[in-house]
Structure 1
């Protein structure tokens, strides 16, 4: 259905609602100078590729000056570019190139913490400095830490500094001290910096863990739990809405931009306060409820969700099955709750994977025989829900998790610390735990983009900073673009379909079959226009029957991941991982 034939309906058009976003993790995207690390000139080389794919917005993970304790999420200088990434001139060339291709650029911005090498933190070690209260500095009593909080990356959340003779808080790595947003000078400096970037012409921000910026007064001890201790005093803290509303009013309101807020521990009702009609002014929330489905309360490194003991892993015929078991009812319930909960009062960010999660097709699909079909099905899900779809680099060709052969291959600070703790806790070596690493490590999403079947997947002429997936010889961009039935070609079709169909952007969501064991089916409706989406989420055949209270007048198959799908959506046999999208009146 062409855009100009869409029914008239009451909805507010916004460019960021109609956009398709592509996330770039620069270190792993494309290396232009042979040092083994992706860089900004390498991204510029691939802008035409992004244009060909049909994306509208490029989300650039941090390229600011950084010592790289957390691959750029530890910022040393907000106003400079990391040497490995290039120069500010390179960045300005990238912005111009993206705009020349009628795309927009949003920057990943980290405001909960800085690097411990940032000028503010270095100066704060002097108690008489104007920056002395820019971070959370506390005394320990009787040799004890200020409280019992733990870091998300593992270990204590406090680090002693010999120069200041106090502890500082770091919710993440010890080289990522948390900023004290209670200090008005901190907020003023942050807002000035945000203006600086927006005045350079960028089109918005992805705001990293932004709902952690307000900590409970007094920093009390957290409840004992197997995961992150202290989270209840950090997530959605007491003044977080005050701070974000102030940031919107002082900065964002002056520009026509996209604001995407990453918010762990954020539910639907919380989201309404951030991005709802009467909320803090943000555009959309990146929540974790669906992304954390395979995990238990102890987090993704907690083995409660694996129905075998660590000692038994080597004896399993297929350890993957014990890590990839997930409940469709749970996924369907979460996505439906967010679709209905934000309808008319907020907006969803539709993603299944990013740089913080293992590869999507390895988590929710089948990275083996049904890799292509399941990757297409997952893409169909992202593009047919209400919300802005996000593509993480490599998803468009169905990149998979990696077999990590040794501890030395790991690069991610979280993976390194959690694997060390896992081995120590179970008195194990890496061979005993590598199945866990394969399914939990963020490094899976950070292996280089597989551009070709050449050495190092065409990513670099040098030694890659992280392992290249050996399957690049058959899974790569070059092969995908030559194959008319590839995952890449299917993404192109989905981009075009959504661009030409307002119902898929603005239509209401209606769930069909609340508890089907294999099929996720729903309607999108806008005026008299309807789109029926039917997804068989597993590797078994299923029969789909349209509910008797629905008629399918003048149906048309809009897209499907099997070539011979019929035009009648009333009743049909679904094959493994089959996805079908129909237009109905």
Structure 2
């Protein structure tokens, strides 16, 4: 059996999901309002991105208290009601634990700045001249990964924003603090955890300049990371909980260790290699057309190698950090609906646990903002300045943000054609995408041909077919525009075919004895051992 192979996780970005009190911000009570919708969709867990107390410099990933709820999202009573109501619907709540860093407004860090030696050892402080950082490492959000604090008289490490100081996992007191946070939320009825950039927690013994890269090779999948995770999971009793680790720039070898049940670390891993196939020269901020051959190769390698060593992948296209996949790899025009369904089918029938990001199930697109004033994301605003400093003009920089910004996935959930897409009665914290009057839940819920209805079918098929939830996977050789694979368990087989292009494609293959299971077009176009696929067609057949 594949752990959680029959389960579906739905990610909620609460700030943009549903505003229950009409202040322009989504909240916990808004999630409660929509539990019946999620139950009807067929999901098993709701992963909620951070709603803890935070100055919101990085939309909640800069936590100033792990056990207090930011008033913007509601109260502890609201959360307790959410858990209770979700339990009634057999839906588990999964929380997002940001354990690599805290906000610089956290009391631990404030104590450290005041000179408290105990709390300075909670973080990574280094002494060095004021005008020279301890190393040349680059922050994930641009600029130096170090900041000099006049108050402390030292430099501190921040792999992300300057307001996010990295924790010192070498210190056993830090690890105990983090375990206590897990215990706290377990006592509230939480049934799963997602760990943010968890493979970055083990830093090197010696901090040195990186003369070939940005420093990540010194701290990615560090030498003690598996030791730390084993300890965390063992001591908090979450071995049988659904747990997923967000892995930054990781490898198959490491993800097998993280997710193999025998290692007693995590249930599964998020990796992002398949979402870098449109990065020119590996640079997120340089555009190119998606490399479908590379995408196919990455899926094949990760799926088959992880399987061979009993590891597990989380299956996903979208999240709060990624642009909308239909805008990225699909077609917003003539083949909009077909491409959205094809991309869903491609992921949902693979080996692993599928994750749906809010709005993905109705085919939400990037908003295509026209002005820098419409962006809210700290990374996007930082890189807009960096791109301009590199010599790009405003239009060129905005073109890149249009394709890359994390805000592309953070616009309000499109519930209806009403004002503000039914998200709120007042202007939301970030603009709604202009196409909300046509793309929304209300329009799709009773339409049997809608993207939403298609997602429901995919979820039902996974739950009803053990060959999908527990079977093996192997990839089928095809031409450059078709991704195809086989799922098998005993005598049962399901073959999946996805046309990634906007033109007709064909494949010579013997499908005698197979019948159509699901697809995004009409009847199977199969004649004389030749399968013909229409633009962005997805079809799965079973024996």
Matched, 1:475 2:463: no
- Cα deviation for residue 127 of structure 1 reads 2.9
Deviations 1:68-91 (CA, angstroms, capped at 9, x unpaired): 010000111001101100000001
Give, in whole Å, the separation in 1 of the partners of 2:480 and 2:266. Answer: 36
- Cα deviation for residue 545 of structure 1 reads 2.1
3-state DSSP of counterpart to 1:84: coil
Corresponding residue number in structure 1 for 2:42: 54
Deviations 1:485-518 (CA, angstroms, capped at 9, x unpaired): 00000001111111100001111112111x5111
User: Which residue, 149, 155, 158 being the options, matches 2:137?
Assistant: 149
Give, in whole Å, the separation in 2 of the partners of 1:498 and 1:570. Answer: 27
Distance 1:500 1:142, change over 3 A: closer
Matched, 1:122 2:117: no
Distance 1:56 1:128, change over 3 A: closer
Alignment of 1:407-422 (within 5 A): 407-422=372-387
Alignment of 1:224-303 (within 5 A): 224-225=212-213, 229-253=214-238, 256-301=240-285, 303=286
Alignment of 1:476-555 (within 5 A): 476-513=440-477, 516-546=479-509, 552-553=512-513, 555=514
- Cα deviation for residue 277 of structure 1 reads 4.1
Matched, 1:173 2:161: yes
- Cα deviation for residue 250 of structure 1 reads 1.0
Corresponding residue number in structure 1 for 2:337: 372
Q: Are 1:158 and 1:169, in contact at CA under 8 Å, matched by a contact in 2? A: yes
Give, in whole Å, the separation in 2 of the partners of 1:285 and 1:568. Answer: 40
- Cα deviation for residue 569 of structure 1 reads 9.6
3-state DSSP of counterpart to 1:92: helix
Q: Are 1:557 and 1:566, in contact at CA under 8 Å, matched by a contact in 2? A: no
Give, in whole Å, the separation in 2 of the partners of 1:478 and 1:128. Answer: 55
User: Which residue, 397, 400, 416 being the options, matches 1:436?
Assistant: 400
Matched, 1:201 2:189: yes
- State the aligned residue count: 542
Q: Are 1:275 and 1:282, in contact at CA under 8 Å, matched by a contact in 2? A: yes
Q: Are 1:126 and 1:132, in contact at CA under 8 Å, matched by a contact in 2? A: no
Corresponding residue number in structure 2 for 1:310: none
Distance 1:239 1:453, change over 3 A: same
Corresponding residue number in structure 2 for 1:318: none
Deviations 1:83-102 (CA, angstroms, capped at 9, x unpaired): 10000000111111111111
Give, in whole Å, the separation in 1 of the partners of 2:38 and 2:525. Answer: 32
Give, in whole Å, the separation in 1 of the partners of 2:45 and 2:361. Answer: 15
Distance 1:462 1:240, change over 3 A: same
Distance 1:298 1:537, change over 3 A: closer
Give, in whole Å, the separation in 2 of the partners of 1:492 and 1:564. Answer: 20
Give, in whole Å, the separation in 1 of the partners of 2:509 and 2:102. Answer: 53
More displaced 10-residue stretch of structure 1: 338-347 or 456-465: 338-347
- Cα deviation for residue 13 of structure 1 reads 5.6
Distance 1:568 1:79, change over 3 A: farther
Distance 1:216 1:99, change over 3 A: same
Q: Are 1:285 and 1:349, in contact at CA under 8 Å, matched by a contact in 2? A: yes
Normalised to the residue count of structure 1, the TM-score between the two structures is 0.90
- Cα deviation for residue 146 of structure 1 reads 1.1
Q: Are 1:569 and 1:582, in contact at CA under 8 Å, matched by a contact in 2? A: no
3-state DSSP of counterpart to 1:558: strand
- Cα deviation for residue 128 of structure 1 reads 3.6
Normalised to the residue count of structure 2, the TM-score between the two structures is 0.97
3-state DSSP of counterpart to 2:274: coil
Deviations 1:33-60 (CA, angstroms, capped at 9, x unpaired): 1111100011110010001111111111
Deviations 1:191-226 (CA, angstroms, capped at 9, x unpaired): 11111111221111010000000111121112344x
